[in-house]
Amino acid sequence: MTENEDTAVSFTGAVRTYGSVRAVDGVDLRIGRGETVALLGRNGAGKSTTIGLLLGLYPPDAGRVELFGTEPERAVRAGRVGAMLQDARPVPRVTVGELVGFVASRYPGPMPVPRALELAGIAALAGRRVDRLSGGQVQRVRFAVALAGDPSLLVLDEPTAALDVEARHVFWEAMRGYARRGHTVVFSTHYLEEADDFADRIVVMDRGRIVADGTGEELRRAAGGSLVTVSLAGRDPDGLALLPGVRSLEVHGDRARLRTDDSDATVVALAELGAIRGLEVAPASLDDAFLALTSPPGDDGPAGHRAPAPLDHSPTAKAS
């Protein structure tokens, strides 16, 4: 395959501004066909604007965005894209089956309506009016609508935000089945465990830029693979930040937490200093990695926190 044939989503130096705010700030991103990719970031990081650019809801102020080698608007009109957005509102006085059937009829090769309802877990709601459903049920209707055209690319903005634990489990089981059929899935989420469990890649955004791109394990290693915690016992913590492998230091009361690329070297150095009282060593969590990757410039975080060094971006995602 050529690059265009193998690429579902392509951002090249994409910029989108709102006044003086660069909501998307020079993003380069490639997503291959059949990949499931999660977008992570704090509120205001640029995730929703990135999704808007991806769907052709507005053009970039600079750079290019393409889906399957063409403009997003053309890919959407051709029925190759399905989307589930946060701000969609229930349509009054229509049933679930009518709504999904209408949307399916607008696509050249739609998914059978019963199949879309089954995948979304709402087959029993086909005859119910959409505007009389609970918030979680409406969210699943949105999913069925996104599936209706049997699109090659499925874009989901916070898809499980209104779902309880059981409904989230059902949703992701459906998503796994859909992705296994070779479809490309891009979703944003605030649930880090969802990104870790269901995405092939996690793209972390901060202040409109991509700051990391990789698997959950790769992100943990990039942000500091282990956490070493010791009791200070009155010791000055400043020198600890200079120990081998240490990328950042946090001090909480009488305990120092060292984020390190090489926990063995860090522990040996602590032992040489006689500073292993209350020693604990644990792998960094995805939460730890996310917080380290999205620390604002100059923000020292908790008392004594030192932000990690900037990450090198992977070849598939970088900020210009």
* In the chain, where the domains are located: 3-213, 220-308
Mark 140-177 as b/e (b = at least 16 C-beta within 10 Å): bbbbbbbbbbbbbbbbbbbbbebbeeebbeebbebbee
The segments of the chain whose pLDDT lies below 70 read 1-4, 88, 223-224, 295-320
Res 318: pLDDT: 37
Q: Where are the alpha helices (DSSP H) in 148-281?
A: 165-180, 192-198, 216-222, 263-272
Res 74: pLDDT: 95
Q: pTM for this one?
A: 0.79
Rounded distance, CA 16 to CA 65, Å?
11
Query: Spelled out in words, what is the top-level CATH class assigned to the domain 220-308?
Result: alpha beta
Res 98: pLDDT: 97
Res 165: pLDDT: 86
Q: Where are the alpha helices (DSSP H) in the chain?
A: 3-6, 47-54, 72-77, 96-105, 113-119, 135-147, 165-180, 192-198, 216-222, 263-272, 286-293
Q: Which helix (H) or strand (E) holds 133?
A: none
Res 267: pLDDT: 97
Res 200: pLDDT: 94
Query: Spelled out in words, what is the top-level CATH class assigned to the domain 3-213?
Result: alpha beta
